[in-house]
Structure 1
Amino acid sequence: MSTEPSQDTQPSAEHWRSYGPLGLHPILVHAMEAFNEQGYHGTSVRQIAGRVGVTVPALYYHYENKQALLATLLETSIKDVLDRCRAAAAEAGDDPLARFCGMVESIVLYMTHRQRLAFLDTEIRSLEPENRARYVALRDYLQHMLLDTVEAGRAQGVFTTPIPADAVRSVLTMCQGVANWFRADGPLTAEEVAERHVLLSLGTVGHPGTVTGDTALPLARPSLTRSAQRASR
């Protein structure tokens, strides 16, 4: 079975920056919250059922077991990231610099807007082998998307890193880490965090403009600082 996301579910160019309600089944929402608060192994099916307000047999009617809940949440998350990332790349076209910036922006925006769901990536260790293999294949696909773009940029002299695979792994680790510390009421907006991580990521892959200070980021719109937001109210 292919792990490539379906073209039919790819978000539109505008949609990849837009975030509405999460749209998860209530059982998944409460499982996500419990896993975030107590960890996968610290949470029982009975506790999740209690949060939802259903019996344990009723929960099992929808999901086979606790492992199925975690696997569904993680796959939902990575598939959404992939679809948004691919839409960002499609919007950017063939320019590797624009594609790279768009993909990094889309990943970081996801980490800020879907923080509780993205944070569950830390529970990959709790997945059973078959579920883990499926999830890792999807995550590897995301890594290869970025790596292909960096390699294209190297061929054009846009990126100069001599170790592209290591650079891409570093970029993804940095971007995924945003889910661990971002605060919606903090000093930086989601857009500011994304813009800064695009700049940091360009430095990681060796874009010359990050050294000279001449980098013009191909972002969709200028970010509005938190202080400017407060002043405009």
Structure 2
Amino acid sequence: MTNTNATPDSPVLDRLLTGYQRFRETGWAPHRDRWAALKEGQQPEVMVIACSDSRVDPSQIFDVDPGEIFVVRNVAALVPPFETTPGHHGVSAALEFAVQVLKVKEIMVMGHGMCGGCKAALTQAMHGNEPGRGGFIANWISLLDEARAPVAAAHGIEGREAERAMELAAVRVSLDNLMTFPCVNSKVKAGTLRLRGAFFPIADGVLHILDESTGEFAPFAG
């Protein structure tokens, strides 16, 4: 079917709208009952906090249907600590909604390989830049400053080994910060909410899960 809405000089838009056409034919039309049910509301049992990186789409990685997971994506899949200072707390608002309104049963923080945000946190390449020229990024990834120190001391600040250590440390930081939210903390302790850490390397497609007993990430053997 020819798309008459895309402009001739917009190949990016054309690709998106062509993809939308495929979705209408293969994703929406065959599953109309599912979409109809979702008009009544959503009831996801899992919240996934992932990176904005275009290579790590949680819905694709976990092959889920619409309405199955509640997803928040940001640079480096970070969760800030609980704070009540004035500001625009996007992640905190989404977390509050997932836990208090949707009443999800699990929250997964999923880091990934070759994460630009974690690399920037490790090298501090954006530090000192003004907002709009890297300053927003620098301020956001400063959430990893405390975790960066031992990583840099053990591995330096360059190379895949150092970057991987920083990527895994970032997941642990977000999991720790989740527990600073009273609504999360109380539900975890009551056994009605569980936190999980995961890591997707990209290169080999093997998902790693954080083992709560050892504190280490291990390949998922399903």
TM-score of the aligned structures, taking structure 2 as reference length = 0.31
Q: Which has the higher contact order (CA 8 A, sep 6+)?
A: 1
TM-score of the aligned structures, taking structure 1 as reference length = 0.30
Q: Specify which structure has the higher proportion of strand.
A: 2
Q: Specify which structure has the higher proportion of helix.
A: 1
